[in-house]
Amino acid sequence: MTTLPQSTDKKLGLVIDLDTCVGCHACEISCKEWNTSNYGAPLSDVDAYGANPVGTFLNRVHSFEVKQENKPAQVTHFPKSCLHCEDAPCVTVCPTGASYKRTEDGIVLVNESDCIGCGLCAWSCPYGAREMDALAGVMKKCTLCVDRIYNENIPERDRVPSCVRTCPAGARHFGDLGDPDSDVSRLVAERGGMELMPEQGTKPVNRYLPPRPKADVEEIDVLAPFLQRQDEEAGGFLGWLDRTLEKL
């Protein structure tokens, strides 16, 4: 079994703004690309365009419709990856020591050469953040792009996780959450950043910024007249094309 460090020099992690995330999946795709072409063995895809596709992703985006009392329903996009917990059960349950937490920055990693693919870490993770690679037979997880954030051969602005660099909405932030004066820590304090499932006692490092309530239904309904079907037939070539397509 692997033991956890008593403390870490840093607590590197992500802050994800659920109010800003638009669910475009750019973070998911950039994560797949970076970790397939760089760190470790490629993330496999089996029968990707067939009836039973199986793929390995280190970051996934889920979408939910949320309804609060006396408020209009709104869609919340929820990106999920490893939260690099302080008390990581995936580390202490590992029988070979393949799963470990780094003392220098708190990142949880997997030594793939020592992993036997037993799946104990996946069973112990309450967030479902680990995935078995169908071809490699080992567990894969978010590394916070450890091969990127310390790489002095790339521009300094690119020394952040690929998902953070790619996010077009600026919904993902990276930094040291163990430093109360860091940009990410101040952002969490200002916006009431939340732990995911704190009742599990894993002390996740990553934080989520809650979505803000959207406009009232009455304000949204001003678009309704423009969304109604128009009875007048269009003229010219487009009108002819529309009538022709309706007959097919």
Sign of CA dihedral 27, 29, 33, 39: positive
Token code pair at residue 108: 């949880």
Cβ contacts of 175-182, under 8 Å, gap ≥ 24: 175/12, 175/13, 175/15, 176/10, 176/11, 176/12, 177/11, 177/12, 177/13, 177/15, 177/205, 177/206, 177/207, 178/8, 178/10, 178/11, 178/106, 179/10
CATH of the domain at 147: 3.30.70.20
Token code pair at residue 93: 């349950």
Is residue 201 within 8 A of residue 81, CB to CB? The reply is no
The yes-or-no verdict on residue 233 having pLDDT over 70 is: no
Token code pair at residue 41: 């063995």
Task: pLDDT band for 214, please (50, 70, 90 cuts).
Answer: low
- pLDDT tens digits, residue range 96-108? 999 999 999 999 9
Tell whether 73 is covered by a domain: yes
Tell whether 32 is covered by a domain: yes
The yes-or-no verdict on residue 239 having pLDDT over 50 is: yes
* Number of Cβ atoms within 10 Å of the Cβ of 106: 24
Tell whether 40 is covered by a domain: yes
Q: What pLDDT sits at residue 213?
A: 72
Sign of CA dihedral 197, 109, 184, 86: positive
Q: Domain range for residue 127? A: 12-220
Q: What pLDDT sits at residue 40?
A: 61
The yes-or-no verdict on residue 232 having pLDDT over 70 is: no
- pLDDT tens digits, residue range 119-162? 999 999 999 999 999 888 999 999 999 999 999 999 999 999 99
Range in 84-93, 94-103, 162-171, 233-242 with the lowest mean pLDDT: 233-242
The yes-or-no verdict on residue 110 having pLDDT over 70 is: yes
- The pTM for the full model equals 0.82
Q: How far is CA 210 from the centre of its chain?
A: 15
Tell whether 177 is covered by a domain: yes
Q: Which residue has the tokens 């067939």?
A: 50
Burial class of 244 by CB neighbour count within 10 A (0 to 12, 13 to 18, 19+): exposed
Tell whether 67 is covered by a domain: yes
φ, ψ of residue 239 in degrees (nearest 5): -65, -40
Tell whether 63 is covered by a domain: yes
Tell whether 7 is covered by a domain: no
Average pLDDT, stretch 205-233? Answer: 64
Tell whether 3 is covered by a domain: no
Total count of domains within the chain: 1
